[in-house]
Amino acid sequence: MNAGNEKQYGGLDQFRIIAAILVIAIHTSPLLSISEWADFTLTRTIARVAVPFFFMCTGFFFLQKLGTDRDRNASMLKQFLWKVGKLYLFSILLYLPVNVYAGYFTDGFTVFSAVKDLLFNGTLYHLWYFPGIMLGVCISTFLYTRMSTWNTFWVTLLLYGIGLLGDSYFGLAQMSSYVDSIYQSMFTLFDYTRNGIFFAPVFIVMGGMIANTRRRKKKKVAPYAIGFVLFGSMLVMEGFLLHAYQLQRHDSMYIFLIPCMYFLFQLLLFWKGKNRPTLRKLSLYVYVIHPLCIVLIRAAAKVTGLTGPLVDNSLVHFTLVTVLSFVLSVMAIKLMKVIRRFRVGKPDQTGRAWADIHLPHLQHNVREIQRVLPKDCSMMAVVKAQAYGHGGWQIARFLNKLGIDHFAVATIDEGIELRKKGVKGEILVLGYTDECRIRQIARFKLTQTVVDDEYAQKLNGYNVKISVHVKIDTGMARLGESWEHTEKIAAMYRYKNLQVCGTFTHLSVADSLEASDVAYTKNQIARFQKVIEQLKEKGIDPQKLHVQSSYGVLNYGELQYDYARIGIALYGMLSKQGDKVKTSIDLRPVLSLKARVVQVKQVEKGASVGYGRAYAAQKDSKIAIVSIGYADGVPRMLSQAGATCLIKGKRRPILGFVCMDQLIVDITDMEAVQKGDMVTFIGRDQEEEITAEEMAQQCKTITNELVSRLGERVKRVYHD
């Protein structure tokens, strides 16, 4: 689902395809048969934006996730390197036959040359990109997390300047024998300065800088369009001049490429369009596969005797390589889908009811939420009530892998379960815990919410040291010491056995944009801030502060606190259908709820169906008995609200009352329905979709209640 005015990056996704085609152009020189200068303009200047664009995309989406938690940063970096490393290894293996044919392992091959190629050059001319992006991200991350953003940029720009003298401006380096000797020494370690040390970092950092500044400022398109045209023209002129004076050793790095890429990337962010993950895969596959297609086209031309029209004609050659690259890439994507389905195996035909949990959607939501969080604000993932019905420890452990290490639960037992299942990080118990269980709080290293001063005194009296967060009631009238009781609040920080690690409150109407509700919420925030200021005046450090939950972030994103407690949005939902929020965010539902047809039967006109004779057939009909009921979490009133489910991509009405273990669906006029067919209650089936928000609205409730009530009999099936 998409919330708010949906800031999406369809422009970036679509330009990836253009960039992939430009990379093919670099390696096939499409205009060479027409004009040498035209081809030089295209392939040696204009097309040089392609690889920096890919670097900037990586920086844009990766660097903005980095925070002050070094363990989390290291975890994300490790995950990134593992993902790219696997693709690099696959690419190396894919081109082994080409390497063997080209004499790679015989012509001066040594262990040193192999290591050099693996770390810098790539084992084929285009594969340098993978070690380049891995090394570039490592350098950028190291600098980005230890220096200011601008200092990081200046350092990477300095590296780029050093690289320039080994690339397009090499002729200048050769004017000094001393400088020339330095670069010749460098070239014994790597063939080009176009690599992960000198080339990649500055563009990765630029992408991160754009991500972190764009979300704070409103932009206009005209200045970026003018800037791109101006610096793009200067880039072309720079390329011609360097070529005319024969200064270039290689032609990947230009001075005006830096401002040109800045304005181009900003322009692409104005290119409206839906996010298209498939285009990301397609562009990547095209990049990897296209040299193989060059080999295949040349081999086919040689065998058929058509080298003249198919290869010597550069435009035809480029076109054939491009088409074949895209065809093979599409086939590869489809093959990977088949392989993934094969690895998952056939659906369990005996399962009565289950919830599909789509972990890639959860990961996407995490990244989207992190994108809109204020800088230095960490996500506290709310995984109470079995992670809103998604599976508590399973979700928490997956979030651990994504670098999330702050969690919130409702009860001590939920916290203990997470610990027993190996969940790392802080686990805050939001609810009241009987003080007699304080030793379990300490044993399992949980953090307890202190709800008032009286409770704090009782906890302290057990002489067991525990971590706590202090909760302040600013208008919810639920748990928490009243904001007016300043002295009692201050006293809660002075108990020797309670280590206060944080202070928080909860907003009661952050989901509403009604003027009166906005005023009430702002009043709550002001009360909280007043308490914090009073504590500081008394010399008390309130430690980590957190106020916002999901709607608090989406409607009050300007607030700057240490944590944000993200619950329902983490799972790709809003509480109610049609809810409007201020922040643009692309959320994807994580859960789909499904069951099976267990029997199909005919009923005559006038026959009663289900308990209480709540439904009578209006005509001769066919019905399906489906193996899910209110004991599984499907509300009993669902059928009385005119609700439907999906069978074979068609909406079908639910008849009569939902029973404890089954319900009945009208399948009249559907010939193909049979025992074992899948029925979808939440999720997509072909072109139709039922959202949790839709079902919740029909039942006059909210999605939070709906999904958290899914029963234990509903098996959770996790898809990665």
Helices (H), 274-313: 277-304, 307
What tokens appear for 358 in the block?
């789509």
CA 556 to chain centre: 22
Query: Is 580 labeled as catalytic in the residue annotation?
Result: no
What tokens appear for 571 in the block?
């799972």
CA distance 3 to 511: 12
CA distance 412 to 416: 6
Helices (H), 550-669: 550-555
Residue among 65, 384, 471, 594 flagged as catalytic: 384
* Side-chain-facing half-sphere of 313: CA atoms under 13 Å: 10
Alpha-carbon distance values, 357 to 369, 418, 572 (Å): 19, 18, 11
What tokens appear for 15 in the block?
């330009």
Residue among 375, 580, 611, 715 flagged as catalytic: 611
AA letter at 667 = I
Compute the Cα dihedral for 209, 211, 215, 217 and give only its sign. Answer: positive
Hey, which residues does 680 pair with through a beta bridge?
A: 594, 646
User: ∠ CA 379-380-386 to the nearest 5 degrees?
Assistant: 130
Longest dimension (CA), the chain: 100
Q: Are 387 and 571 in contact (CB under 8 A)?
A: yes
Query: Is 611 labeled as catalytic in the residue annotation?
Result: yes
CA distance 152 to 114: 32
Q: Residue 183, SS3?
A: helix
Hey, which residues does 599 pair with through a beta bridge?
A: 625
CA distance 425 to 428: 10
Q: How, if at all, do strands 563-566 and 498-504 pair? A: unpaired
Compute the Cα dihedral for 526, 528, 529, 533 and give only its sign. Answer: positive
Compute the Cα dihedral for 509, 512, 515, 516 and give only its sign. Answer: negative
Catalytic residues: 384, 611
